Chains A and B, each alone.
Chain A
């Protein structure tokens, strides 16, 4: 009993305004120096539970009791929780974009010793450097955050949480945006913390990570604890079954699609770096895409994958390329141009580029194509809007009481599904998918793969980016490997294995 660092008893959390009971009567504990995995479907209540543990939802906003090192605790704020030893890295990226890494890490510590009224930048950077290298973070203290990749921002958030020397570190889906190398880096950091006696709660949708890292795993479904297994009882199928309530035999469903004629031809695509002068983020990339084909973009973070498809979608001003669709040369100068040519995109960062957070599910889904919900008189039809959005809510299993739920209140994975629904609603001929299954649970992943297959069957062509190689290998017909903004290899499905693709990245 004493070696429970954290214990929760009978936690219930309701969101009455939305009519949602997110957690019902949850009890669980974390032992000292233990890594506890927490998994469950999208909307199962993982993030909500973590927010309670970390004082985001303060005492009084939930039912039940929390015990920290045997003592009951009632956090008044997340800062309060942090000071009492609970480190928290939320699911959504939340950093100060215009500050440096060092400032981001230490901004909360600056008023610690109030005797010192001022501090020097150089000293702060040195302190940050010492801290970062001690924990093996590959981050530059002087770098301004808005020039960093999502993966680096994610690591920065972890660093910031660790800087408070927490007795428990809570990580909510920290690996969704990380490259393979960064994931390993993070795991090393977590193991080092564990060896020093820190406990970790680790949320993920990737079972491999549970198997590799955690000592125990607790499975949530519909706001309830379904089961907890120790490391020696780990069993893939059983865990999945506990999670989604059914078996998943074939994650990447088979597809029988005849690939047709060439739809898209991109030649000599070059994109200037919008931040650094006289540098290209994409250089002389040429590729083609055929009807009903799924083309995978492979590369490390910073290889220029996202930039390539963004350029194709008209997001950049300074780019040059010869683009032809169905053999006709086209000029794409804006997102609206791209959409007019039948191209649509699912963006990587849902909070920044994907969702209208002040609006509800319905509004977001239909936004990508308003013509589809118009009556013959050119006015928007509420009926059609409901039909369309409900269709996608069913198809993608978006978990919400109704289509009028605010997207800001959805769980991360369900938000991602809304972004997916939005892309599908636009009826594209060419669909660009940037990390389409980011933060999505296994069951829904399989459903999304099935939808992708359906689209390909209808003759839609897809370009897919994913940091999960198995997903790319499972779904794509052909691969293009990018490295430092240049195309370094083109690989066919037959030759594609994790090894060949990875080694191509380093060519």
Chain B
């Protein structure tokens, strides 16, 4: 009886490992996709999946994860991306040189992330409220740039910009540059979290800022650095994205704030901060990408996507609570 119980407990422990909890739905969704629409398994579709879906927003999710682990949250990265992308196009269409467009994107993304960091760390605004407010600013700005209309880079720009767009839509080995960058950055971020003092500090700050401070960690600096990293990754994503699509729409990035949060949470990065890994995030990103791809293949109404994001977010929050109770007992 007790041996049986011990075995079932070990099983529970196994299934609560973040990587496992997020791999299982990946497999389930993949199988469901194959059954529902065999096109899913074609290599061309899988490549589309890898390049356009994972790559394009995976970097955002990495930045988001840094912020979440350090005890924050950023629901403005999507709208910041829209604004920065629109600004890129606007400058390019004004015959500005490529480097200026890129510089503008970096400047916008860093400013927004520092604005968030300042509100949260200096003025003690809760991350949700602070980034929500900032997101409205960038949302508005994105619409101001071109009176709410899309912008294309296919014509009316300098040659350098045209060449830039060419480079980014070319797919070496069939997978876009973004996918390589993404995999590389997942490994690199995991390395930072696991092997460097900075990574340690991120976990400590997310666990309990007061204890971290007493351990001599400059808490605000660490948390601001996480926002900064996320800002840089948002800038990078914007650049890749504008190149890939040869243009931008004023709402291009908007949904992705929440999707990155859902991916992180599904991947076992607790929204309460202080736990999780980039491998978990990788699983979460793949899962969300699969769900998206499946929705596209099945030709379901795009609005259904939102239902899925919501469902997965709720599911991951429930899992997080169960995981906490199982690993930390009733002592916390």
Contact between chains at B331 and A336 (CB < 8 Å):
no
Closest residue on chain A to residue B324 by CB atoms: A358
Interface residue total, chain B, C-beta cutoff 8 A = 35
* Complexed CA–CA distance, A62 and B307 (Å): 41
**B213 engages A335 (CB within 8 Å):** yes
CA of A363 to CA of B199, assembled, Å: 12
CA distance A191 to B212 in the complex (A): 42
Of B10, B12, B215, chain A has the most CB atoms within 10 Å of the CB of: B215
Question: Is A17 part of the binding interface, using a Cβ–Cβ cutoff of 8 Å?
Answer: yes
Contact B218 A334 (CB under 8 A): yes
Q: Say yes or no: is A357 at the interface (Cβ < 8 Å to chain B).
A: yes
Q: In this assembly, does B143 line the interface, its C-beta being within 8 Å of a C-beta of chain A? A: no
Q: What are the residues of chain B within 8 A of A357 when measuring CB–CB?
A: 207-208, 328, 331-332
Interface residues of B in 288-332 (CB under 8 A from A): 326-332
A354 contacts partner chain B, Cβ-Cβ < 8 Å: yes
Instruction: Return the CB mask of A233-246 against B: 1 if under 8 Å, else 0.
Output: 00000000000000
**Cβ-defined contact, B329 with A15, below 8 A:** yes
A285: interface (CB < 8 Å): no
CA A343 to CA B173, docked complex, whole Å: 57
- In chain A between 308 and 367, which residues have their CB closer than 8 angstroms to a CB of chain B? 313, 315, 334-336, 338-340, 345, 347, 352-359, 363, 367
Shortest CB-to-CB span from B303 to chain A, Å, is: 37
Given A380-B196, A408-B331, A358 contacting B216 (CB threshold 8 A): no
Other-chain residue from A57, A367, A406, A408 in contact with B204 (beta carbon distance below 8 A)? A367
Select B328's contact among A14, A370, A406, beta carbons within 8 Å: A406
Q: Is the CB of B208 within 8 A of A347?
A: no
CB within 8 Å for A353 and B275 given contacts A16-B6, A336-B217, A409-B328: no
Closest to B6 in A: A16
Within 8 Å CB of A378, what residues of B?
Answer: 196
CB distance B207 to A408 under 8 Å? no
Could you tell me the distance in whole angstroms from the C-beta of A389 to the nearest C-beta in chain B?
14
Residues of A within 8 A of B212 (CB): 356, 367
Q: Does B211 contact A (CB under 8 A)?
A: yes
Contact A336 B328 (CB under 8 A): no
The reply on B203 being an interface residue by CB < 8 A is yes
Interface membership of B163, Cβ < 8 A: no
Q: Which residues of B line the A interface, CB within 8 A?
A: 2, 5-6, 9-10, 12-13, 194-197, 200-201, 203-204, 207-208, 210-218, 274-275, 326-332
Apart from A354-B211, A363-B203, A380-B196, 11 more pairs, CB < 8 Å: A17-B326, A56-B330, A313-B214, A336-B216, A345-B214, A355-B211, A356-B211, A358-B275, A363-B200, A367-B200, A368-B216
A-B contact pairs, 13 of them (CB 8 A): A16-B9, A17-B13, A57-B330, A345-B214, A352-B210, A356-B204, A356-B207, A356-B208, A367-B215, A370-B197, A379-B196, A380-B197, A409-B329
